[in-house]
């Protein structure tokens, strides 16, 4: 559903509810593609001044550790992108370093990051990359893209399968 349109995201942090406003891919990419940007530009940066003050006070008072805020930002990115956060960062980096070809191709086909959700833009980027990659390299590319970094291994849920489902595969 995240590919269908831009959606707001509700965030619970330090006993407070926040809403990250719905933003198109261009907004997300302006920060995700900038090597000098800070994830805190995304959140609490997307909030109004009062919301930013609440988050800053939660940090200052020690109610919310900086690590929890960082995890919240990664969750927001992953939710908006409809994929794991590490996949988002890897896809965005591939787009950034090969913008002269991949970005140009997407733009020439009318892919408008100002109108699409981040998830939809990344869907198109993924298809574009897979169509332009040597087929013998596609599986390895996909595996590297999806592999969780060491700090995220605990976040990955093992697929659940019942005994009968397992036995039916034999």
Average pLDDT over residues 138-163: 78
Question: What is the percent of the chain with per-residue pLDDT over 90, rounded to a whole number?
Answer: 85
User: According to the model, what pLDDT value does residue 152 have?
Assistant: 75
User: According to the model, what pLDDT value does residue 54 have?
Assistant: 97
Burial class (CB in 10 A: 0-12, 13-18, 19+), 160: exposed
Task: Give the predicted TM-score (pTM) of the model.
Answer: 0.86
| Residue 1, in any domain of the structure | no
151 confidence band (pLDDT: 50, 70, 90): confident
| Residue 58, in any domain of the structure | yes
Per-chain mean pLDDT for the chain: 91
Question: Lowest mean pLDDT: which of 8-22, 45-59, 145-159?
Answer: 145-159
CB 44 within 8 A of CB 52: yes
In this predicted structure, the answer to whether residue 170 has a pLDDT above a threshold of 60 is no
Domain count of the fold of the chain: 1
| Residue 121, in any domain of the structure | yes
| Residue 34, in any domain of the structure | yes
Question: What is the percent of the chain with per-residue pLDDT over 70, rounded to a whole number?
Answer: 89
| Residue 169, in any domain of the structure | no
Domain containing residue 93: 9-157
Average pLDDT over residues 18-28: 97
| Residue 4, in any domain of the structure | no
Average pLDDT over residues 66-90: 97
76 confidence band (pLDDT: 50, 70, 90): very high
């Amino acid at each position: 559903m995240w590919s269908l349109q831009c959606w707001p995201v509700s965030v619970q942090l330090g006993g407070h509810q926040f809403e990250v406003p719905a933003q198109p891919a261009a907004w997300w990419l302006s920060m995700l593609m900038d090597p000098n940007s800070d994830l805190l530009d995304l959140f609490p940066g997307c909030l109004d001044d009062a919301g930013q003050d609440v988050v800053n006070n939660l940090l200052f008072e020690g109610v919310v550790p900086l690590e929890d805020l960082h995890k919240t930002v990664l969750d927001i990115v992953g939710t908006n992108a409809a994929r794991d956060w590490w996949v988002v960062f890897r896809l965005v980096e591939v787009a950034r370093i090969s913008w002269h070809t991949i970005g140009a191709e997407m733009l020439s086909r009318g892919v408008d990051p100002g109108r699409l959700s981040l998830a939809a833009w990344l869907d198109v980027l993924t298809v574009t990359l897979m169509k332009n990659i040597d087929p013998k390299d596609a599986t390895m590319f996909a595996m590297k893209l999806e592999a969780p970094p060491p700090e995220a291994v605990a976040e990955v849920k093992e697929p659940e399968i019942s005994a009968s489902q397992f036995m039916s595969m034999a």
